[in-house]
């Protein structure tokens, strides 16, 4: 939060010149204004409080010391720097009594002024820290700084400064990241537990297994995972940490009653390389799914899949027949038998499962008249278990079957013509105005008729149909995104990206990553 400074000097050039004497924004300070006498300054400060007041001593109407005395009565937290054209011991004594930060002689020594500002800035930060220290806000502040650090979103000097204020240890050579994901099928973990309190509990558990010379930094990240950074000056400490991971995960599971998925990274010999260590651990969650019923799942840096990867074979023709028949029970039974049966390990490649799951869902969505692909893809990144994936597939397919039942209807002749035009010419420019001329109807009336029967505006229907076609091309071809955009009627690629995100729920790139050809 920016602080405010106000300047007071009976010499206008000095009052105005103080604003450019240093880079105030560099110290997190913005200029609130200036005045040429104490009376005017007091009125201004009454209206708009300031954090720092820099004032001359000898001024008409009200001198600087009286101004300081009056301001302290209404805003006790304001800080003061006094300026004077000559050294006067009596003024210094009074200023000290009033609690001024410094007494600077004119002409102003810029180095001395900046040194004083840095000192005041440090005091402000310590005051803010003391306000946070025993409150939840302090934990949030600390967690936010640590999240920015592991993501590489904070400069080294800024982090060092913040770390000193927040009690984050930096004087270690080695760092190792461990990330614990608590698996909840029903609600986000933050809805079930106070994440920062849970993180502190985990810190207590983790410290039991390390030496007094080492330290562990615990915090929840943006994905609601519990991150533990073990720091040490001993390269042998990695083995002690890894031996303790299952026990720590077990304690977390006991605290929450939920399954815990623990992932550790390789030891980094560069303390500044914590971003790579954290990234390595987080990538494991993106690459795998939990398929077993184990309460504790642990993946070390040397993790190797238990079974050899092989193509998943399933009877797609039989599945399509079941979808065409449209009876929910046999379709659900097929999904429940084919997905679990294809994967036997307790931890499996996410891409293998997602490919199969997406094929099952798209086979059903493709039979809808107006498929909504956002429900297929948007939830996939948040799924951690094979069980959760199966439930998602069943839910999407059941809704798809229900939609087909509800949408079996006849459109009026004019609306049917519009729909046929979209299906045949979606890659071309389509205008309701142009089509209405061909049908000899007013475009507003035709648009209202289409909205009433289809449930979408004509432009929304065209966009949704184009995105449907683009989705198929992204999944089943290696065409570049720009080529796909043009082939479905979007000349402007950036507009295509916006429309795709709007209708599919994910970007074209994200969809392709989710679905490996």
276-293 pLDDT tens trace = 888 888 888 888 888 877
Per-residue pLDDT, 410? 66
Task: Say yes or no to pLDDT of 365 above 90.
Answer: no
**Distance of alpha carbon 341 from the chain centroid:** 36
Per-residue pLDDT, 342? 56
Residue 247 has phi, psi (to 5 degrees) of -65, -40
Where exactly are the structural domains of the chain? 3-130, 137-299, 316-407, 413-514
Mean pLDDT estimate for the chain? 83
Q: What is the mean pLDDT of residues 236-262?
A: 82
The answer to whether 3-130 and 413-514 have equal CATH topology is: no
Which ranges in 378-480 belong to alpha helices (H)? 386-407, 413-425, 432-438, 443-454, 458-476
Report the 10 Å Cβ neighbour count for 349: 16
**Distance of alpha carbon 6 from the chain centroid:** 37
181-196 pLDDT tens trace = 988 876 677 666 777 7
- Whether the CB-CB separation of 189 and 245 falls below 8 Å is answered with no
Q: What is the mean pLDDT of residues 86-115?
A: 79
Task: Say yes or no to pLDDT of 455 above 80.
Answer: yes
Q: Which of 342, 250, 229, 239 is closest to 298 using CA atoms?
A: 250
Cis peptide before 107 (omega within 30 of 0): yes
Which ranges in 75-133 belong to alpha helices (H)? 89-98, 110-132
Per-residue pLDDT, 24? 92
The CATH number of the domain covering residues in 137-299:
3.30.70.270
Task: Say yes or no to pLDDT of 166 above 70.
Answer: yes
Q: Does domain 413-514 have CATH number 2.40.50.100?
A: no
375-430 pLDDT tens trace = 888 788 788 888 889 999 999 999 988 887 665 456 788 888 888 888 888 889 88
Rounded CA-CA distance 154/158 in Å is 7
Rounded CA-CA distance 106/84 in Å is 6
In the chain, % of residues over pLDDT 90: 17
Q: What is the mean pLDDT of residues 122-138?
A: 69
Per-residue pLDDT, 43? 93
Task: Say yes or no to pLDDT of 100 above 90.
Answer: no
Residue 188 has phi, psi (to 5 degrees) of -60, 145
Q: What is the mean pLDDT of residues 341-370?
A: 79
DSSP structural state of residue 385? B
- Tokens 């039942």: give the residue: 405
- Whether the CB-CB separation of 57 and 10 falls below 8 Å is answered with no
Residue 307 confidence class, pLDDT cut points 50, 70, 90:
very low
Total length of the chain:
517
Q: Looking at domain 3-130, which of 1.10.390.10, 1.10.40.60, 3.40.630.30, 3.40.50.2300 is its CATH number?
A: 3.40.50.2300
- Tokens 């080294």: give the residue: 156
The reported pTM is: 0.56
Residues 6+ apart with CB under 8 A from 133: none
Rounded CA-CA distance 147/129 in Å is 18
Distances in whole angstroms, Cα of residue 155 to Cα of each of 160, 162, 237, 360, 382: 9, 11, 28, 46, 30
Q: Which of 43, 38, 34 is closest to 14 using CA atoms?
A: 34
């Amino acid at each position: 939060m920016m602080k405010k400074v106000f300047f007071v000097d009976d010499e206008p050039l000095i009052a105005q010149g103080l604003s450019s004497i240093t880079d105030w924004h560099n110290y997190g300070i913005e200029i609130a204004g200036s005045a040429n006498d104490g009376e005017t300054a007091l009125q201004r400060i009454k209206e708009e409080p300031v954090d720092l007041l820099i004032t001359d001593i000898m001024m008409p109407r009200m001198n600087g010391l009286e101004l300081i005395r009056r301001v302290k009565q209404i805003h006790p937290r304001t800080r003061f720097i006094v300026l004077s054209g000559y050294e006067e011991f009596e003024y210094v004594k009074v200023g000290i009594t009033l609690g001024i930060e410094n007494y600077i002689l004119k002409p102003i020594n810029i180095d001395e002024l900046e040194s004083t500002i840095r000192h005041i800035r440090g005091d402000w930060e310590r005051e803010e820290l003391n306000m946070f220290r025993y409150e939840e806000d302090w934990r949030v502040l600390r967690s936010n700084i640590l999240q920015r650090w592991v993501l590489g979103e904070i400069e080294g000097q800024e982090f060092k400064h913040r770390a000193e204020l927040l009690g984050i240890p930096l004087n270690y050579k080695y760092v190792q990241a461990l990330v614990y994901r608590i698996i909840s099928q029903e609600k986000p973990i933050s809805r079930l537990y106070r994440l920062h309190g849970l993180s502190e509990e985990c810190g207590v558990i983790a410290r039991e297994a390390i030496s007094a010379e080492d330290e562990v930094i615990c915090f929840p990240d943006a994905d609601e995972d519990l991150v533990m950074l073990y720091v040490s000056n001993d390269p042998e400490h990695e083995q002690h940490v890894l031996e303790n991971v299952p026990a720590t995960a077990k304690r977390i599971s006991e605290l929450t009653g939920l399954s815990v998925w623990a992932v550790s990274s390789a030891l980094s010999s560069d303390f500044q390389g914590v971003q790579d260590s954290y990234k390595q651990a987080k990538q494991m969650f993106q690459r795998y799914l939990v398929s077993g019923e184990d309460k504790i799942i642990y993946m070390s840096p040397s993790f190797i899949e238990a079974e050899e990867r092989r193509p998943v074979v399933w009877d797609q023709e039989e599945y399509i027949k079941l979808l065409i028949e449209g009876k929910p029970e046999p379709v659900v039974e097929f999904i429940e038998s084919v997905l679990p049966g294809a994967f036997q390990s307790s931890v499996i490649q996410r891409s293998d499962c997602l490919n199969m799951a997406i094929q099952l869902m798209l086979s059903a969505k493709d039979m809808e008249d107006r498929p909504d692909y956002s429900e297929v893809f948007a939830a996939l990144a948040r799924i951690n278990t094979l069980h959760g994936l199966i439930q998602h597939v069943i839910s999407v397919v059941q809704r798809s079957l229900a939609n087909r039942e509800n949408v079996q209807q006849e459109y009026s002749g004019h609306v049917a013509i519009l729909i046929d035009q979209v299906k045949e010419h979606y890659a071309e420019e389509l205008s309701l105005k142009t089509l209405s001329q061909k049908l000899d109807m007013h475009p507003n009336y035709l648009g209202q008729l289409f909205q009433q029967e289809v449930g979408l505006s004509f432009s929304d229907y065209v966009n949704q149909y184009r995105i449907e076609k683009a989705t198929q091309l992204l999944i089943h071809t290696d065409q570049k995104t720009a080529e796909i955009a043009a082939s479905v009627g979007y000349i402007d690629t950036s507009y295509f990206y916006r429309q795709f995100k709007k209708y599919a729920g994910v970007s074209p790139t994200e969809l392709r990553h989710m679905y490996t050809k």
